[in-house]
Every structure is written in structure tokens, then in C-alpha cells.
A and B are shown apart, each in its own frame.
Chain A
Amino acid sequence: MLNIIKSGFFTTVQDTGRFGYRDKGVPVSGVMDSFSVSKINTLLENDENCAVLEITMTGPTLEFEQDTYIVLGGAEMSVTLNDINIENYKVYKVNGGDILSYGKLLKGFRAYLGIKDGFNTASVLGSRSFFKPITERDSIKKMSSLPYTKCKQFNPKISKLKVDSVLDKIKLEVFKGPEFKLLTDNQLSQLFYREFSVANENNRMAYQLNEVIEGNKLSMLTSATLPGTIQLTPAGKLIILMKDGQTTGGYPRILQLSDMAMSILAQKRSGDHISFKLK
């Protein structure tokens, strides 16, 4: 068990997501920054679907009950293992009784804690990813604990990885969305020749942007949306759907983020700048 001494601002268990229930309105969920998490699971020689902790903005304090191996990644935070600083993308052995403690957020927004063979929390509809009310909890709570399988001995093929981090990037690669053709020249120039900033309304469901462009009055029939779909509202607001985003929508879907762009955006917080680049 991993005991939660402090939960942090918003910490969840996530894997690659819930597949096969979108026609019932269930979002995919899963890790927001899949790029960083794939590096973590690779280092641990885990299956790509192994569940990790997604740590948002401020981190938890955690106590390990059994021996295992861990890798940190994603956002840069000051993290100590028994009061010794540890770094991202490096395999560490932990012993029963060890304390992992997250401090200041240095860069990015979502940090990840991967563990050998993943967390074994309950799988609901084929995924361990937290999403209330599909899962009972929306985030981990103080004084609770998360199960994992003890690992005494593991000799990683690679013990440290230099990752070309997504944290410094601001250009989001986009594809044309289904309603891209509706955009006027004016809207296109507003979209692609300026920077946008992330609004306070940003979470696992969607990121809104502060700046508006010319709106769109098209009334369309509700149709599927995907993680990474950028919707344009009649008032000209841009709403970027993320992993917990709704599965259908009625606003024009003007652009679609690439997988890498999703990971880049997942590391942004209120006020951070981004720009779009059409692929």
C-alpha cells in the first residue's frame, strides 16, 4: 500500500483511459500528458497501460509500505525521498517506510509518479482512471491508501533517460477539424498569427482560452467530440476539450490537437501562452 499522508491539490490515478463506452457518453479519461507518462512506464519496463499518479499543481506526501521502484516525470517539482532530492526520469528504489514528499512546483503543471507494475486500484469499465461518478472518487484523499505489488528486485535496462521535455514548448500542432471550412479569412488570421493565454477555466475536462476570435453562428446537430477537439462558441470563445471532456457537442469543431499538442497543453496553467500551428 501507498499511504496518503497529504493529498496535494488534485491528485488522481490514471492509466491510458476507458475504451468502448463513448457511445454511452463516458469520456475516455486517462493521463493528460501521455508523452511524459510513456517515458515513465518505459523506464520501469511497465505495460503502457500501467496506472500512475497524476499530480496537479501541488503534490502529496506519501509513505510506501513495501519495497518497489519508482520514476517521476512530467512537471518539474522539488521532490524528496526521505529528505534527499530526487529528479525526473530516473529509476529509484524505495523501501518499506520511505517517505516521498512533493514541494514547490518549478515548471509545468502536472507531475507523474510511476511505480513498478502500476497502481492496482479498482478497474471500472476497463480502466483505473479516476472519473466521478464512474469511479467512486474524483481524487485521492488524505489517510487513504493505494495498492501496489511489492517488487524486491528489478534491474532496469536503462536507469535514467534524458527526455526532450514538453514543458518549454508553446506551439500546439493542430489538424483541421470537421467544421474547419466554416472559418473566414479573418478568423483564420486571428487563430494562427497570435498567441493565446490559458484562462482560469482549465481542468481535465477542458481548457478555455482568454482571447476571443470572431464568433460563429452556425447551428449544428450534436455530434461526437474527442480529446483535443477545439470548439468555437457563438461568442468567439475557444474551448479545447481534454481527456475528461464530454463525448458529444454542438459547437463547430474547428481544430483538432495532435497527441503531442495535448501533452504540451496539459502542462500549461492559467495565464500561460500557447499558439497554434496547422499541420
Chain B
Amino acid sequence: MSSFKISVRQFGVHAILVEWPNRVEESILDEILQFIQYLKKNHLDEKEWEFVPAYNSLTLICKNTVLDFDYFKPKIKEWYAIKGKIEPATRYLWRLPVSYDLEFGLDLVEISGQLGLSVERIIELHSQSIYTVYGIGFLPGFMYLGGVPEALEVPRKSTPRPKVLKGSVGLAGKQTGIYPQDSPGGWNIIGKCPVPMFDVKKEKPCFVKVGDKIQFYPISMAEYQLHKIEGEVGIYNLEKKVLDA
């Protein structure tokens, strides 16, 4: 038996929205990931369907055809009730290098004042934590990460920057993350990651998936430059560890 109550709603004629209780919780995310595995294996062909998980929801999108919601609504509830315990896809902890050099960490000094913490302490706290990927969206390869320590919670900038550079590491409220491409953005910028988060030249353009975990580790400017060149030619090696093992 699954432990959460789900709601199933029609979302246009091509999609179904399945929702779990309105909370940010790892146990909810686990259920969603298990349900995706179950659906892919037993009922919904990956060639015809897309599965978009985020926090407490799963959106099922049917490629072209108009779907029969009256058929799917009870079916999805039934499938969820009987799915049992499923192994989700293998999850990884990715260790990502970040240069917190002040040249990249444009807002480090300012938020140091706001938070009453030294820049060194901010870097220490930010790189000690392990973050959970609750969703990927907004931009290709942009991760919604949960698990920011309370001491680092700082409001987003009152005026967004028109251009935040690709790779910039941002911090805002309960969220931290990497801008995968140049983009306007209102998060406080505290560093830069030289590894591309989205690379169309790779067979898997985005190595991270929802449910994976992320940890940042500080690197020097020289290491940043080296990784950056590696990233540009696509030969970087990422540090990863299998979770749930």
C-alpha cells in the first residue's frame, strides 16, 4: 500500500497532473520516482509519454493524441494503490566543483553583511550541505535544489540582473542552484561552476535527474580554468557516488 493520498487532475487534453500532499519532503519525492518507474515498466510507453516530476507533482504528457481522461483517472489511482515497493532508477550523489572566488561570487560580500557570516563561513556552509534535486526546469538543465541550511537563507536581489553568466551559482531563500546558460536572474551569485549542466553534444545532455543529490566543493581559480577548458571540449570527469547502495 502506498502511504500518501494522491489527486489526479486533467491538464489540457494531452496531460494528466498527479499531485501528492503539498510539502517538500524526500519521502514524497521517493514515491513519485517509484511511481514513474512502475508506470514506465507496466503501463505507459516512454515513446508515447513524458514524465515530469517536480517537488510534490508528476505530470504525464501524452505525445500527440488527445487522451481519454475518464479512462485514465481511475486507472492511475488504481495503479498507484497496487504498485507496491519499486526500485527507483539508480540515483547518484554528484560532487560539483565551484570557484567561490570574488571575481565570480559577485554578491558574496553583500550577503556576508546581510547574513552576519564571514565569506569563508558562507562557502563552508554552502559546500558542506548535500542538496536534493526536486525538479529540473525553468531552463534546460536548471536544478531546483532543496536542503539549503537555514543560516544561508537570504532574500533574492531586489533588482534582478539582466544577464547572469552561464555556470553562476545562485542562492535565494530556501534555494540554491546553477544557471545552466546566460539568463536574466534575481538570485545572489556566490560562485561559478565550470562543468556544463546541459551539453547537447553528449548522449545524455543533462547528467543529473530528479532525485539525485548534489554537493559542491570549493576549487581554486587555476582549477576552475582547467575544468572550464575540459568542459568546453567535453572531456570532464564528474565525481559521482551511487546512492541507495
| Interface, chain A (partner B; CB < 8 A) | 16, 19-26, 124-125, 133-134, 175-178, 220-224, 226, 228-229, 246-249, 253, 256-259
Contact = CB atoms under 8 A, between A and B. Distances in A.
Nearest to A255: B12
10 contacts: A21-B206, A25-B180, A175-B13, A178-B11, A178-B17, A220-B22, A223-B57, A248-B144, A249-B138, A256-B12
Size class of the contact patch on chain B? 35 or more
Contact of A248 (B19, B52, B61): B52
Nearest to B23: A221
Contacts of B19: 178, 223
A160 B54 CA distance: 47
A222 B54 CA distance: 7
Nearest to B209: A23
Given A21-B205, A221-B57, A259 B13 contact: yes
B17 A248 contact: no
Contact of B139 (A19, A224, A246, A259): A246
Contacts of A22: 50, 52, 61
Contacts, number: 114
A147 to B, nearest CB: 19
A221 B137 contact: no
A134 B52 contact: no
Contacts of A259: 13
B167 interface: no
Contacts of B53: 23
Interface in B178-216: 180-181, 198, 200, 205-206, 209-210
Interface string B31-66: 000000000000000100011111111010101100
Contacts of B127: none
Given A223-B55, A224-B17, A248-B52, A25 B141 contact: yes
Contacts of B64: 16
Interface of B is mostly: loop
A226 B61 contact: yes
Contacts of B61: 22, 224, 226
A222 B55 contact: yes
B136 A23 contact: yes
A257 B141 CA distance: 27
A8 B53 CA distance: 39
B67 to A, nearest CB: 12
A117 to B, nearest CB: 21
B24 interface: yes
Contact of B57 (A26, A125, A224): A224
A224 B12 contact: no
Contacts of B46: 20
Nearest to B53: A23
A56 to B, nearest CB: 22
B141 to A, nearest CB: 6
Nearest to A221: B55
Contacts of A175: 10, 12-13
B15 interface: yes
